[in-house]
């Protein structure tokens, strides 16, 4: 398949695995420090291969613009295609535009529409940042990377490792086959439950994406305020609740 001898293989041969832990820690520390004050944010995923005239590029631009105008930070993988469209929609509307770049041999060329940019070597450290600081996931049509992010978030919600958040698939023509297979094969085989399917939303409408995210923000804010009241914590209307 044309694989080349990678730098990671060289590191393994050198017996440097134990020292690599410090590089991993540094990526987590930098990510936590840089992203902890973002406020409400939405992670947008999708293919790096869509050009600027592609319908999904234009649709991503519209979705990003709507989200930014309603107070959300946009987080992407920082590359071209859908990621570029999402970052562009944010930065051209004076919003916060975050790119979580990854070092790859191809396809990952950082787009110029980021006003906060981090670069990761390790996928797992980067993936923590996507899920930790997002109020919702928007998955445009994409490849293995998009599926990876989507199913990891779905698994974390299913297993109650994170609080629920909207998982939105945009593009019914693209995603309906996947959902049909999940229902007719996975659900039929009882490897998932009917409730698991309810965790996923699918739409073609940018305004519906915004509505789903806004409804979740309102729900989350209510849960936090109710919990604070039960614990006897006074709520000042001027106080900013982190992540909301």
Considering only CA atoms, which of 79, 69, 80, 76 is closest in space to residue 97? 76
Dihedral of CA atoms 145, 147, 153, 156 in degrees, nearest 10, equals -110
Q: Model-level pTM?
A: 0.88
Residue 233 lies in a domain: no
Give CA separation, 211 vs 9, 91, 119, 153, in Å. 46, 21, 31, 20
Query: Are 209 and 138 spatial neighbours (Cβ–Cβ below 8 Å)?
Result: yes
For residue 120 the two structure tokens come to 């990761």
Domain total of the chain: 1
Rounded Cα gap, residues 155 and 210, in angstroms: 23
Domain span at 186: 22-225
pLDDT tens digits, 143-185:
999 999 999 999 999 999 998 999 999 999 999 999 999 999 9
For residue 186 the two structure tokens come to 């996975």
Residue 68 lies in a domain: yes
Residue 27 lies in a domain: yes
* CATH assignment of the domain containing 188: 3.40.50.450
pLDDT tens digits, 87-137:
999 999 999 999 999 997 765 689 999 999 999 999 999 999 999 999 999
Ramachandran category for residue 202: left, alpha or beta (phi over 0 → left; psi -120 to 50 → alpha): beta
């Amino acid at each position: 398949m044309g694989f080349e001898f990678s730098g990671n293989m060289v590191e393994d041969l050198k017996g440097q695995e134990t020292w690599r832990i410090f590089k991993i820690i540094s990526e987590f520390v930098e990510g936590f420090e840089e992203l902890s004050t973002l406020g409400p944010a939405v992670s947008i995923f999708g293919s790096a291969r869509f050009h600027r005239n592609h319908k999904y590029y234009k649709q991503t631009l519209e979705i990003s613009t709507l989200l930014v105008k309603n107070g959300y930070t946009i987080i992407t993988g920082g590359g071209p295609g859908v990621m570029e469209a999402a970052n562009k929609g944010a930065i051209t509307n004076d919003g916060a535009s975050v790119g979580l770049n990854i070092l790859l041999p191809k396809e990952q060329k950082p787009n110029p529409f980021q006003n906060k940019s981090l670069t990761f070597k390790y996928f797992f450290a980067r993936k923590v940042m996507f899920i930790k600081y997002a109020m919702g996931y928007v998955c445009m049509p994409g490849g293995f990377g998009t599926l990876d992010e989507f199913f990891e978030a779905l698994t974390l919600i299913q297993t109650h490792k994170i609080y629920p958040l909207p998982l939105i698939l945009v593009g019914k023509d693209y995603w309906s086959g996947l959902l049909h297979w999940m229902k007719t094969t996975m659900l039929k085989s009882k490897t998932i439950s009917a409730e698991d399917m309810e965790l996923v939303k699918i739409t073609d409408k940018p305004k519906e994406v915004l509505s789903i995210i806004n409804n979740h923000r309102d729900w989350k804010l209510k849960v936090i305020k109710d919990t604070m009241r039960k614990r006897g914590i006074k709520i000042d209307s001027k106080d900013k609740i982190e992540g909301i």
